[in-house]
């Protein structure tokens, strides 16, 4: 038979083969295999780890897979520090650290890679990789370790520079590069493990300009009060499991001193006065911002103009930011007002003198504002004079959720010239006679243009606040509008209470109730110097934190430290648990204020932890069911058309 005659048979046979092969495929999506979660493995180094008499120009680390070195340049810490940055290269699976200067003789170098080396697939990090070698015939192995935290809130400080100085002069931290350096991890922990014996000063600061020298006032600093003298001692331990000749073997461990050192980093209050900002925000308002307080020295006057009582000043609490209201309307119409500011400054001999700054406070109205004024003049000609302007009060009232422990706050948009308390009334909403309640009306001691209406409010009760029209006149002669606002207080059983029993109180302490947020806003504060109960009342059901400030100087606030004066920041501590408050419930807590210097802030939210535990269990359960169902599906597919079938005997 000719080939041409056999062609139909070849076509049929080929089609049958395609059908057989395709039907043998598994009817389902491929699983893709498990995710790579294994970090790179270090398989070789040049030179060897902890080698002696190194005189090379580079270090090579070889791994079992390809790596990504992107973060090595940023995170690698070489100690003792080098003058020139190292060059980072890769060749196949090898990381190359190339030195661009001659290394010191007879010194042990440590290369701390942190978690910067990751694999090429899933970026799994090689955690806490360290490599060391010596350029002499001995390896220095003494250690210093510890933690750096923020002095005010005890949050760990990551990536701050930690330094050891053999130069024990007080000015060394300002002028000399350190002998050894390290950087903290995400927990604020640091470790030196290549130190020679000697005496050192220990510091840390956030080296903003990367010069390894402390810039006071601009950078945060922490310092250890005493000299650091590292040492190591071998502690022998008898092996109780050994017998016979083996009993001559001695086990044990090396104990390193000093014990871990806990440092609190802070910003020094260095007097460095200057005018940071001067701006005319509107025709009637200007802002001045200084680097330091001007509470005892600030003065302002017009240049080439005399206008009596032309401004009202509103400084903030620190008196370093001042809002100025231009009270004279004729002066305010000027697009430029030249002023002279006077305040204290330090000269080169660190002596105070009065510095004078001349500033031009300019305000140019927008073109749209000019058009509006032209339109208003045209409207006035057509429709007559505009209505007399009045301003609105701002209050903290809400219709149905006013807290019974709060005061009503009244705030004016502009400084007040006159207010008539008799024009203000508060009465029970259900009282048809509107009999005024005996409230207290006082000016707020902190907030400008704000007044307080205080009264012992009853729970779940409706009240009405009324203020007559023109009860208040501001500095521009504009009166207030009439205000009528009804509100209802929360019920008494809405609130919870914290009863905190303090022991081992030594000196004045500030006990603060904080919001359960990163900002830790202070909600209430109690001051005491004795053991006993501190009560936080009228707490809405929520979660809170509690903090203590050991107010050693008794000034009623947290005080930062000073390296110049060798004073540490005032100590703080926390209750290491989020406190959940329920309505109509008292929470009783005991707090021993004999707190160790190594106290670590580790506030746990047990309710949130339990929720996350249950979510993790549910996720694991679903993943297990999914794997089981996938396996069942694959087994079932084996017996579908095109799959394998049981063999008949």
The pLDDT tens digits of the residues spanning 206-217 come to: 999 999 999 998
Q: What is the average pLDDT score of the chain?
A: 89
Summarize pLDDT for 501-549 with one digit per residue, the tens. 999 999 999 999 999 999 999 999 999 999 999 999 999 999 999 999 9
Element (H, E) at 134: strand 129-134
Query: What average pLDDT score do residues 612-631 get?
Result: 83
Q: What is the pLDDT of residue 548?
A: 98
Report whether pLDDT(637) > 50: yes
Q: How confident is the model at residue 11 (pLDDT cuts 50, 70, 90)?
A: very low
What is the predicted pLDDT for the residue at 221? 98
Of 599 and 18, the one with more pLDDT: 599
From residue 109, alpha-carbon distances to 54, 88, 354, 399, 595 in Å are 10, 17, 52, 69, 38
Which of 322-331, 361-370, 592-601 is predicted with the least confidence, judged by mean pLDDT? 361-370
Least confident of 22-26, 330-334, 502-506: 22-26
Query: Is residue 386 scored above 90 in pLDDT?
Result: no
**What per-residue string of b and e applies to 48-85 under the rule 16 or more CB within 10 Å gives b?**
eeebeebeeeebbbbbeeebbbebbeeebbbbbebeee
Band (288; pLDDT cuts 50, 70, 90): very high
**What pLDDT is attached to residue 5?**
54
Q: How confident is the model at residue 134 (pLDDT cuts 50, 70, 90)?
A: very high
CATH code for the part of the protein at 142-235+257-265: 2.60.40.10
Which class is 42-134 in CATH? mainly beta
Confidence label for 623 from pLDDT (cuts 50, 70 and 90): confident
Q: Is the peptide bond before 84 cis (omega within 30 degrees of 0)?
A: no
Which helix (H) or strand (E) segment holds residue 632: the answer is helix 606-637
- Residues sharing a CB contact under 8 Å with residue 420, sequence separation 6 or more, in sequence order: 468, 471, 472
Distance CA 639, CA 646 (A): 8
Whole-angstrom CA distances from 472 to 50, 413, 421, 442 are: 80, 12, 9, 14
Question: Rounded CA gap, 56 and 286, in Å?
Answer: 64
Region 467-485 average pLDDT: 96
Give bridge partners of residue 302 from the DSSP assignment: 339
Per-residue pLDDT, 26: 47
Contact assessment for residue 443 and residue 389, using Cβ atoms and an 8 Å cutoff: no
The model's pLDDT over 77-129, given as tens digits with 9 standing for 90+, comes to: 999 999 999 999 999 999 999 999 999 999 999 999 999 999 988 899 999 99
More confident residue, 41 or 365: 41
Helix (H, G, I), strand (E, B) or coil at 246: helix
The residue-averaged pLDDT of 373-386 equals 55
The pLDDT value recorded for residue 626 is 81
Q: Structure pTM?
A: 0.82
How far from 66 is each of 1, 111, 117, 123, 298, CA to CA, in Å? 61, 20, 10, 10, 64
Selected from 2.60.40.10, 3.30.470.20, 2.40.30.10, 2.60.40.3710, the CATH number assigned to the domain covering 390-493 reads 2.60.40.3710
What dotted CATH number matches 275-362? 2.60.40
Task: Write down the pLDDT at residue 1.
Answer: 45
Query: For residue 631, what pLDDT is reported?
Result: 67
Higher pLDDT: 159 or 644? It is 159
CA-wise closest residue to 472 among 522, 415, 516, 536: 415
88 contacts 34 by C-beta, under 8 angstroms: no
Q: What is the pLDDT of residues 244-283, one digit of tens each?
A: 555 555 677 889 999 999 999 999 998 889 999 999 999 9
The whole-number average pLDDT for the span 448-466 is: 96
pLDDT tens string 542-576 = 999 999 999 999 999 999 999 999 999 999 999 99
Which of 118-122, 154-158, 405-409, 600-604 is the least confident region? 118-122
Share above pLDDT 70 across residues of the chain, in percent, rounded to a whole number = 86
Share of the chain above pLDDT 90, in %: 76
pLDDT at 19 over 50: no
Question: According to the model, what pLDDT value does residue 133 have?
Answer: 97
Gap between the Cα atoms of 489 and 404, Å rounded: 6
Query: Going along 225-317, which residue ranges are E strands?
Result: 231-238, 250-257, 261-265, 275-282, 285-290, 299-302, 311-315
pLDDT for 366 equals 74
Predicted pLDDT at 334: 93
The answer to whether 490 and 458 have CB atoms below 8 angstroms apart is: no
Nearest Cα residue to 452 out of 439, 441, 437, 464: 441
Q: Is 593 exposed, middle or buried (0-12, 13-18, 19+ CB in 10 A)?
A: middle
Indicate the pLDDT class of residue 378, thresholds 50, 70 and 90: low
Provide the pLDDT for residue 536.
98
Q: Are 591 and 508 in contact (CB under 8 A)?
A: no
Asked if CATH classification 1.20.120.530 holds for the domain at 495-602, the reply, yes or no, is: no
Identify the pLDDT of residue 388: 74
Residue 234 has pLDDT above 90, yes or no: no
């Amino acid at each position: 038979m000719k080939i041409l005659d056999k062609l139909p048979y070849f076509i049929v046979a080929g089609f049958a083969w395609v059908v057989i092969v395709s039907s043998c495929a598994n009817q389902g999506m491929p699983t893709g295999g498990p995710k790579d979660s294994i970090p790179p493995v270090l398989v070789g180094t040049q030179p060897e780890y902890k080698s002696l008499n190194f005189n090379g120009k580079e270090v090579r680390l070889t791994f079992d897979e390809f790596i990504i070195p992107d973060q090595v340049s940023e995170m690698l810490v070489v100690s003792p520090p080098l003058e020139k940055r190292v060059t980072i290269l890769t060749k196949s699976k090898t990381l190359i650290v190339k030195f661009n200067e001659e290394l010191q003789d007879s010194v042990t170098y440590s290369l701390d890679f942190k978690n910067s080396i990751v694999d090429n697939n899933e970026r799994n990090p090689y955690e806490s990789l360290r490599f060391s070698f010596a350029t002499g015939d001995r390896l220095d192995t003494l250690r210093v370790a510890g933690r750096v935290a923020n002095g005010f809130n005890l949050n760990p400080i990551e990536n701050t520079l930690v330094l050891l100085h053999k130069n024990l002069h007080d000015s060394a931290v300002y002028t000399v590069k350190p002998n050894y350096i390290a950087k903290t991890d995400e927990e604020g922990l640091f470790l030196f493990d290549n130190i020679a014996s000697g005496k050192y000063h220990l510091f840390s600061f956030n080296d903003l300009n990367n010069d390894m020298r402390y810039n006071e006032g601009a950078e945060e600093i922490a310092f250890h009060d005493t000299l650091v003298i590292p040492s190591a001692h071998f502690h022998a331990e008898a092996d109780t499991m050994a017998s016979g000749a083996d009993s001559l073997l001695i086990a044990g461990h090396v104990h390193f001193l000093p014990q871990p050192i806990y440092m609190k980093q802070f910003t020094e209050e260095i007097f460095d006065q200057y005018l940071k900002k001067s701006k005319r925000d509107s025709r009637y308002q200007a802002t001045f911002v200084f680097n330091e307080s001007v509470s005892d020295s600030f003065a302002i006057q017009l240049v080439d103009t005399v206008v009596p009582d032309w401004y009202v000043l509103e400084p903030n609490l620190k008196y370093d930011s001042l809002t100025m209201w231009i009270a004279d309307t004729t002066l305010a119409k000027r697009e430029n007002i030249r002023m002279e500011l006077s305040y204290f400054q330090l000269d080169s001999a660190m002596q105070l003198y009065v510095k004078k700054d001349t500033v031009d406070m300019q305000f140019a109205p927008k073109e749209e504002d000019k058009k509006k004024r032209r339109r208003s003049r045209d409207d006035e000609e057509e429709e007559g004079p505009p209505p007399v302007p009045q301003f609105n009060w701002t209050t903290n009232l809400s219709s149905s959720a006013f807290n019974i422990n709060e005061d009503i706050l009244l705030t004016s948009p502009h400084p007040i010239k006159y207010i008539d308390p008799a024009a203000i009334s508060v009465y029970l909403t259900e009282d048809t006679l509107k009999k005024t309640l005996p409230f207290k009306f006082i000016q707020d001691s902190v907030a400008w243009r704000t007044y307080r209406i205080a009264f012992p409010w009853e729970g779940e009760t409706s009240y009405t606040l009324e203020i007559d029209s023109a009860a208040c006149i501001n500095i521009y002669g504009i009166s207030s509008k009439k205000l009528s606002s009804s509100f209802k207080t929360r019920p008494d059983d809405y609130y919870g209470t914290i009863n905190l029993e303090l022991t081992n109180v030594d000196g004045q302490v500030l006990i603060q109730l904080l919001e359960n947020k990163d900002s830790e806003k202070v909600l209430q504060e109690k001051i005491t110097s004795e053991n006993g109960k501190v009560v936080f009342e009228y707490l809405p059901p929520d979660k809170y934190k509690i903090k203590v400030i050991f107010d050693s100087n008794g000034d009623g606030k947290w005080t930062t430290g000073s390296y110049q004066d060798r004073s540490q920041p005032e100590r703080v501590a926390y209750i290491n648990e989020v406190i959940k408050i329920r309505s109509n419930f008292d929470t009783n807590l005991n707090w021993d204020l004999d707190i160790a210097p190594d106290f670590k802030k580790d506030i746990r939210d047990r309710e949130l932890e339990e929720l996350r535990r249950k979510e993790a269990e549910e996720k694991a359960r679903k993943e297990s069911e999914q794997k089981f169902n996938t396996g069942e599906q694959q087994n079932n597919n084996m017996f579908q058309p095109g799959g394998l079938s049981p063999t008949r005997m």
